[in-house]
């Protein structure tokens, strides 16, 4: 790891001024992606601004309209174990419990995960399928506008994710095929069904990161069963292809994971 300068923020204002003063600073949440990336010298921020001790970024609360607001600094273990999340958005609690491994889940946070927008991260699928909104220190963004490509988001350099709010969705599920070593999704599919219809989002497979699967949404809207997906052709031309799996393999995995997610709900 290259040299870096660590700053522990005691407040949001302190975090903002520390990042403004840094030459090439990065916010540090749980560090479960950033620190391994720095160890491999794939990232070399001059400064790290640690957000882990900001109380205003922590906690899970049920809002008046039944939605669930999760502070950006809330770790995956707390989301997975939250009775509020389990009741209102069961697929989200299940997804949080599948990220990494137990030790990673104690440190990794929802804000850190979405700000990094790894194309194989799990949370982006839930945010897209559930139509979550992302609150930052500057504005509120819809998930559709937040994720802009592989490792890319709408966040500005000095913008901090404060919280993510998920509408309640009792019929929600996530199925993923984890890479056997890294536990990252090689394909992960989140399905959400409510009175307005069905939404399906795919992570781990697409070259541009998370995406909605419109064909599957229509098919499932007309016929809510795993069979409805059987006839859908998932194109391989925009899928990731690497030593872990070809584009065609991932395209097939997307279909299989979507079927598993729907099957788990019926």
Binding region for another protein (CB under 8 A): 1-6, 8, 28, 31-32, 35-36, 38-40, 48, 50, 52, 77, 100-104, 106-107, 181-183
Minimum Å distance from CB 183 to another protein?
7
β partners of residue 153 = 147
CB-wise, 3 or 233, nearer to another protein? Answer: 3
CB-wise, 49 or 129, nearer to another protein? Answer: 49
| Six token digits for residue 183 | 């536990």
Q: What is the C-alpha to C-alpha distance for residues 97 and 208, in angstroms, rounded to an integer?
A: 25
CB-wise, 48 or 220, nearer to another protein? Answer: 48
Q: Determine how β-strand 197-203 pairs with β-strand 211-212.
A: antiparallel
Minimum Å distance from CB 160 to another protein?
18
Task: Kindly report the backbone phi and psi dihedral angles of residue 38, in degrees, each rounded to the nearest multiple of 5, phi listed first.
Answer: -70, -35
Q: Do residues 172 and 192 make contact, with C-beta atoms less than 8 angstroms apart?
A: yes
CB-wise, 35 or 232, nearer to another protein? Answer: 35
Rg (CA), the chain: 18
Minimum Å distance from CB 46 to another protein?
11
Minimum Å distance from CB 99 to another protein?
11
Q: Do residues 197 and 176 make contact, with C-beta atoms less than 8 angstroms apart?
A: no
Minimum Å distance from CB 146 to another protein?
26
CB-wise, 77 or 187, nearer to another protein? Answer: 77
Q: Give which of 166, 148, 12 is closest to 96, Cα–Cα.
A: 166
């Amino acid at each position: 790891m290259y040299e870096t300068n660590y700053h522990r923020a005691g407040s949001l204002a302190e975090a903002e001024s520390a990042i403004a003063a840094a030459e090439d600073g990065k916010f540090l949440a749980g560090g479960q992606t950033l620190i391994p990336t720095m160890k491999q010298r794939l990232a070399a921020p001059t400064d790290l601004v640690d957000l882990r001790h900001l109380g205003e970024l922590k906690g899970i609360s049920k809002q008046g309209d039944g939605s669930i607001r999760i502070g950006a600094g809330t770790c995956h273990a707390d989301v997975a174990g939250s009775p509020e999340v389990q009741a209102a958005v069961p697929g989200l609690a299940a997804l949080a419990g599948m990220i990494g491994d137990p030790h990673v889940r104690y440190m990794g946070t929802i804000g850190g995960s979405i700000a990094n927008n790894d194309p194989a991260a799990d949370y982006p699928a839930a945010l897209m399928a559930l139509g979550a909104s992302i609150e930052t220190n500057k504005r509120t963004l819809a998930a559709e506008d937040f994720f802009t490509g592989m490792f890319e988001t709408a966040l500005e350099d000095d913008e901090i994710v404060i919280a993510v709010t998920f509408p309640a969705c009792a019929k929600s599920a996530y199925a993923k095929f984890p890479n056997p070593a890294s536990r990252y999704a090689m394909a992960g599919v989140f399905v959400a069904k409510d009175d307005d219809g069905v939404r399906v989002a795919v992570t781990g497979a697409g070259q541009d990161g998370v995406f909605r699967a419109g064909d599957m949404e229509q098919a499932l809207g007309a016929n809510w069963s795993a069979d409805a997906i059987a006839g859908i052709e998932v194109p391989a031309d925009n899928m990731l292809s690497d030593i872990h799996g070809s584009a065609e393999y991932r395209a097939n995995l997307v279909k299989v994971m979507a079927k598993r997610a729907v099957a788990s709900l019926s």
